[in-house]
Structure 1
């Protein structure tokens, strides 16, 4: 846009954007957590960034109600509106999941998972209770898509390295379990590479159970519907995503799964001033439809979201200036996944040919693709620097679990000392003296 042509306001409950494909490597310590997030105010210097949540949208008045982190909610008028809330973890009413589960949608969860796993090794190394050790060293991952397979691969790698520094813990003492209700893992890269990924994880000692779901996990007692029951302190939930439930409050047309229903131009159906893109949008896959696939929709992945965002920006400016909208069309270029250090799978589409790679070369492609896709050169350089240092320096195995309660130790030092206990005999004597003084 030209200078002064419009004011762009971004409303988000977080002041940063997270590059989610790097969360598994963040959980394994291969990338610093600060390097997978991008501060919005720094990379959007010409935009107004408000930290808060949009609670309601009045389309007739063109006003959004914003609830800030502190203070009263207020109304924010707009001429054009972009809905890009992304997705949240898709969960089910499984007993114990809310209390025991660990998600993998944010950098906070990746940091928490890393600290939690290393803390379990600390527990197991310092106790002689076999039941406590068994529960601490059993790790359950639910979901075999990109997030689940990559996370179990990276965390198993980290735990294997960390075990070298523990006297009473070895890799043989640990138990890694991957569960998925589907009949294969990594469906995005195709059945052949998915089968390779499964066999590779199993060769590293990961138990993979397909066509299997979790019935409950109350108090860490994991009950699978194939009859297996295990005790675990670590239950990682990566069983897919769903659109942000806040969309239901905005009065927008939604698809059958809760996505905002958009045209191929990314405009919300029935409007000419609202657009949507990314994981919260139901966007027609025009490339697949042209190839003869009916009712095809763009999958919720970064490959589509990044390209949709560029077209959406162009279409908003076109609408402001009275030009026609362009339709979004993108043919799948393939998929890459990392399964730990020097291990990965990749499916690359060249024309009508699919090239399948696995092992170290696929891992290089995974890192190269996502490293270049990382927003801003600042973060690109920092991520590649982390990887370069990792080639020469040993992996960090420090658990900073106390970061979740940073004030606890200070509180213990600063809280008032309890009043000294008064002997019962002194209480009786004091009471008797008081009665005498009152009588006199």
Structure 2
């Protein structure tokens, strides 16, 4: 049988493998997926995980639960030598080994783009994975618990200050949901007033949400500011050393929570450790039919999709247009990729990827949202309902749809859960302390240093 190797189990990789499983004959090919995580993260739900509107596990789709005929390897691909049809795999346990393949599918996904800003790597959280969303939520809840016991002063102000850097969809949605959670917490903390909250959104460009037009983007800024937030446009993070945030607009303050969502970068495996063609941004050069290569020269039996692929956007009507790295494209590219690989195996021509946008929709917190399709703009509660409706239908499997919907229904009657589980980050603390709180503090300090 032919060996199909899929590097990455995110949107594009998962949907490619899922589509192949449904159509491949048992003696036709064997599929292998290599990914360090045993699940696909449904990233549009991460802001709602931050706010507690979606359970963390429900934003993750188990690979083993849905890919029954696919060989799954928990590990990372560290090098690809397509000239020898070989990939080097570093498993989570054991020595590295080589995998031979006949067909290669590159869906490794992008990584968070960072800069050498003092204190950033020590203080900031990303927002690309479930564990990051959970940690952000727990950090805010714990800050409220600590601030409620302190007198008014610098330490209390720091605990009630949060900063999100990045005004794209991930940053704005995460910021809106974080602000919504903080506002909802106030009724449970009578010691804390709304005027004490300080939430800052920092964006280097002159506007947020580049996927929408100027008018709706400006409305979102006004909406956030009416809720007490501070939006810094044309502003960059200069330093975050020891939690002291310094911005290029002259602002300077202490912030207990710092979230970094300032864009994506190509996966290092793609632009540093393969012999495949990449463009100036480090993305794989991909044809319209999702084969790696150019219009004049194709790399045989190598395909790519998702955030690491520079795919022509035929729907844009411009020869230099490329699809933007978002879930809408990654999911649809993965589905087409499975069909095109099957067509190639069976001697049929592959189809080009053409997708006309269905519009963009974003949540800005519980009951608030924005939707735009061409000139049609919907704001507020109706847009929020559209956001929830679209994503509960888009998340894979009826099992996940049912779980997410059940949590939403429960929250509608009883409100969101406001319990912090930050202690799970130090699971041995209670055991080590053995009733001595001083030993528990030392254990937590040691865990923090090790982390």
Map 1:372-391 → 2, pairs under 5 A: 372-391=393-412
Which residue number corresponds to residue 404 of structure 1?
425
- Deviation, 1:189, is 2.0
- Matched residues in 2 for 1:276 and 1:414: separation? 55
SS of match in other structure, 2:303: strand
Unaligned runs of 5+ in 1: 419-440
CA deviation vs aligned residue, 1:101-124 (integer Å, no higher than 9, x gap): 111000000000000001111111
For the residues of structure 1 that align with 2:149 and 2:299, how far apart are their CA atoms? 62
- The aligned counterpart of 1:333 is 358
In structure 1, how many angstroms separate the alpha carbons of the residues matched to 2:192 and 2:113?
A: 34
TM-score w.r.t. structure 2 length?
0.89
- Residue 431 of structure 1 corresponds to which residue in structure 2? none
* Contact 2:200-2:230 at 8 Å conserved across structures: yes
Structure 1 runs of 4+ off > 6 angstroms? Answer: none
Q: Does 1:254 align with 2:275?
A: no
Q: Deviations over 1:138-175 (max 9, x none)?
A: 11111111111111111111111112112321221110
How many residue pairs match? The answer is: 410
Deviation at 1:401? 0.8
2:3 maps to none
| Equivalent residue number for residue 434 of structure 1 | none
**Residue number in structure 2 paired with 1:422:** none
More displaced 10-residue stretch of structure 1: 221-230 or 167-176: 167-176
Q: Deviation per CA, 1:390-434, whole angstroms, max 9, x where unpaired?
A: 11012211111111111122123299xx9xxxxxxxxxxxxxxxx
Q: Say whether 1:309 aligns with 2:337.
A: no
Answer whether contact 1:189 1:336 (CA < 8 A) is retained: no
Q: Is the 8 A contact 1:164 1:170 kept in 2?
A: no
1:25-40 matched pairs, under 5 angstroms: 25-40=48-63
Q: Secondary structure at the match of 1:272?
A: strand
Question: Superposed, which structure 2 residues align to 1:156-171 within 5 Å?
Answer: 156-171=179-194
Alignment of 1:143-222 (within 5 A): 143-222=166-245
Distance in 2, Cα, partners of 1:49 & 1:281: 23
Report how far residue 359 of structure 1 moved: 0.7
Report the counterpart of residue 48 of structure 1 in structure 2.
71
Distance in 2 (alpha carbons) for counterparts of 1:324 and 1:98? 47
| CA distance in structure 2 between the partners assigned to 1:97 and 1:113 by the alignment | 15
More displaced 10-residue stretch of structure 1: 295-304 or 248-257: 248-257
Name which one, 1 or 2, has greater alpha-carbon Rg.
1
Shift of 1:233: 1.3
Structure 1 partner of 2:289: 265
Question: CA deviation digits over 1:275-331, x for unaligned, max 9?
Answer: 11011100011111xx3x231000001111111111111111122122222111112
Residue 21 (structure 1) shift: 0.5
Question: Once the two structures are superposed, what CA deviation does each residue of 1:82-101 show, in whole Å capped at 9, x if it has no partner?
Answer: 01011111111111100011
Q: CA offset at residue 370 of structure 1?
A: 1.0
Look up the match of 2:446: none
Name the CA distance, whole Å, in 2 between partners of 1:338 and 1:244.
28
The structural deviation recorded for 1:129 is 6.0
Q: Does 1:348 align with 2:373?
A: yes
Contact 2:83 2:275 in 1 (8 A): no
Instruction: Report SS of the residue matched to 2:162.
Output: strand
- Whole-angstrom CA distance in 1 between matches of 2:335 and 2:105: 13
The residue aligned with 1:110 is 133
Cα distance in 1, alignment partners of residues 408 and 415 from structure 2: 11
Contact 1:25 1:154 in 2 (8 A): yes
Tell me the secondary structure at the aligned position of residue 126 of structure 1. coil
- The counterpart of 1:297, out of the listed 318, 322, 325, is 322
Which one of the candidate residues 136, 142, 145 is aligned to 1:122? 145
- Structure 1 position 83 matched with structure 2 position 83: no
User: Corresponding residue for 1:370?
Assistant: 391
Residue 348 of structure 1 and its aligned partner are, at CA, apart by 2.2
Q: Secondary structure at the match of 1:197?
A: helix
RMSD of the TM alignment (CA)? 1.6
State TM-score, norm by structure 1.
0.91
Counterpart selection for 2:307 from 279, 284, 293: 279
